[in-house]
A and B are shown apart, each in its own frame.
Chain A
Amino acid sequence: MSAGLLARIGLYAAIAAPLLRIAASDRPFLVQVAIGTAISAILALAWDILSRTGQVSLGHAAFFGIGGYGSALLTPVLGPVLGWTVGILLCGVVALLLGAVTLRLRRLYFTIATLSFSLSIHVVILVTPGLTGGSTGIMPPVIAGGSPPLQLLFITGCLVVAAVVSDVFLGGRFRPAFFMIRNNPDLAAASGVPVTRLKILAFVVSGMVAGLAGACYCGLYGYVIPDDVFTTNWNVLPLAVTILGGMDTTLGPVVGAVVLRLLEEVARHLVGGVGYQVVYGAVIILFIVGMPEGLVGFVRRLIRSRRRQAAEPGQASAKARLAL
């Protein structure tokens, strides 16, 4: 147990250290890239938590945007701490409602419903200019006085919080139950698991973590329009980042965010313009075909097969027999 805890703290340190190193460096471009990567990673962690219960969302832009708008609009009224708290809680409430509505939906219906939800929320923002600024957008209070290195420090903290939350839901209390819900909800219920409650819990937590990512994003420059946050891009990104990095892990979404961003920057440098988007699509396709379990899953499988090879031949054949 304590060894596990140590390993986890090591993981958080390994995630935070490079970001802090970048924050301390004097390279504005790198700081911006790191901020963007960390926000993607938080959003991807949020998506992954939900997907562990078999709910594949294509509507996380809604929570990203509500978290961002909520915190931005509430901070002038309630102050930063309470404003962010209430903004993120608002995401939880919305997730609770959406989770209750989509609970009975089977796979593809769920995905289409979440996508539709995010589009509807976009429209709600556009048609309520009095409250949300409509299409002209809003001017959220900036984080850390607008100093990018300090912003990166703060967002790194948020990423570690998201990683801790993710790990809580990978612990013994939730991981087996979540996977059982995803794989066979009847079996989970027959094992005493309150399936509905856990699915909604996952939705609420996921919505709030996505809201945290959105709040970070909106607090970067002091100006946000609906098209910045309520776009399909933020619906697709967590899916791509998590699957490329490796689902059902805390490390996967973080690695995925870094790798995807690196590839994107390289492509932007080499091709320029919208060319990098082509690379984005191509990378997704290549990964799905070549590494369907993601980077972390791939490495784990390598390690496991190494171990199996290293095991005694007798044991190996016993395992082979078991596999039959």
Chain B
Amino acid sequence: MTAAIIQAVLLSLTVAALYAAVAAGLTLTVGVTRIINFAHGEFVMLGAFLTYWLYTRFGLSPWLGMLASGVALGLFSMLVYRGFLARVLKQDEHNQLLATLGLSILILNIAIILWSPDPRVMQAPALLPSAQFAGVTIPGNNIVVAIVGLLLFLVMLGIKNHTRYGTQMRFASDDPALAMHAGINVDRIFELSFVIGGAAAGLSGGLVALVLYVQPTVGVDLVIRAFAIIALGGLGNIPGALIGAAILALVEGLISTFVPGGGSWGFGVAFLILLLVLLVRPSGLFGKQVHA
């Protein structure tokens, strides 16, 4: 029983790292642009497919594959931003919401047509050997996910807190008008945050290919969880996203392991927790609470 608990907790934590990777990019973008990008999940899906094709067609190691996915999706995000999202920035929030939903539907269904809805498994050898910990075995790919997910998360944090762009991003999101007066090119900062978010999505897509089925709908559930996570942690708060991811993954993992038939429960309970947290703290656990 103890071993089972430890196993469930450890596996949940690796899942948490994956969630954190997906959510970190999203919360960076949301924190700056105030747009919740529903297509973020499809960006993750595209990253997963790219890593998968690169391995199965060209034998490219998933290590390199996920890097390539990050770069590719970063570029793709730039195209999406310039061609489409920049035009939506000044519109009302519901229009922005619908815009990214439309994008998500479009990409998802093109992928279904092109690649069929069938799930695929990337049968690459594990990138790292599996590890024994307190008597339980953690598969190597889960360790990769945990490590790369955390690294990606730290990179996001580093960009936001320790670079010139990060400072400008925080400035631009706090008060775009003032930032503009201060000579910051707000448009470019918005674009940059979107591109970084997209690159993070592509890279986390590579992680998805390691541990989940590669299929067009893989991003849908992930992005919905990512929304819950970033709301739980406070929109735009990157460390908050890590804790949100851990809470969500643990609740989900433990319930589905130990509650009979709880496979679908966990999902719902996680969202109930989000509702309860927002009831007490309307801006998430670590979000800025605003007066009045």
What is A's interface to B at a CB cutoff of 8 Å?
Answer: 51, 56, 58, 101-102, 104-109, 111-113, 115-117, 119-120, 122-124, 126-127, 186, 232, 236, 239-240, 243, 247, 273-275, 277-278, 280-285, 288-289, 292
Q: Which positions 87-133 of chain B face chain A at CB distance < 8 Å?
A: 87-88, 91, 93-95, 97-99, 101-110, 112-113
Q: A113-B275, A278-B106 are in contact. Are A123 and B267 (CB under 8 A)?
A: yes
Q: A120-B275, A243-B95 are in contact. Are A285 and B113 (CB under 8 A)?
A: no
Closest 7 CB pairs of A and B: A123-B268, A284-B102, A281-B106, A281-B105, A116-B271, A277-B109, A112-B231
Q: What are 8 A-to-B residue pairs whose CB atoms are below 8 Å?
A: A113-B231, A116-B228, A274-B112, A275-B113, A277-B105, A281-B107, A284-B102, A288-B99
Contact across chains for B268 and A106 when beta carbons are under 8 A apart: no
Interface: B134 (CB within 8 A): no
**In whole angstroms, what is the CA distance A107 to B93 when docked?**
8
**In whole angstroms, what is the CA distance A120 to B269 when docked?**
7
Q: Which residues of A contact B91 (CB under 8 A)?
A: 288, 292
Whose C-beta in chain B lies nearest to the C-beta of A283?
B102
**In whole angstroms, what is the CA distance A95 to B5 when docked?**
38
Closest approach, in angstroms, between the C-beta of A200 and any C-beta of chain B? 15
Please tell me which one of the listed residues B94, B105, B224 contacts residue A51 in the complex, with CB atoms under 8 A apart. Answer: B94
Closest approach, in angstroms, between the C-beta of B48 and any C-beta of chain A? 20
Contact across chains for B227 and A284 when beta carbons are under 8 A apart: no
Please tell me which one of the listed residues A104, A108, A127 contacts residue B30 in the complex, with CB atoms under 8 A apart. Answer: A108
Contact across chains for A109 and B282 when beta carbons are under 8 A apart: yes
Interface: B242 (CB within 8 A): no
**In whole angstroms, what is the CA distance A101 to B88 when docked?**
30
**In whole angstroms, what is the CA distance A102 to B110 when docked?**
35
Q: A108-B34, A113-B231, A278-B106 are in contact. Are A284 and B275 (CB under 8 A)?
A: no
Interface: B61 (CB within 8 A): no
Q: Which residues of B contact A186 (CB under 8 A)?
A: 292
Q: Mark B216-247, 1 if CB is under 8 A from A, else 0.
A: 00001000100110110001000000000000
Closest approach, in angstroms, between the C-beta of A254 and any C-beta of chain B? 18
Whose C-beta in chain A lies nearest to the C-beta of B234?
A109
Q: Which residues of B contact A106 (CB under 8 A)?
A: 282-283, 290
Q: Mark B263-288, 1 if CB is under 8 A from A, else 0.
A: 01101110110110011001110000
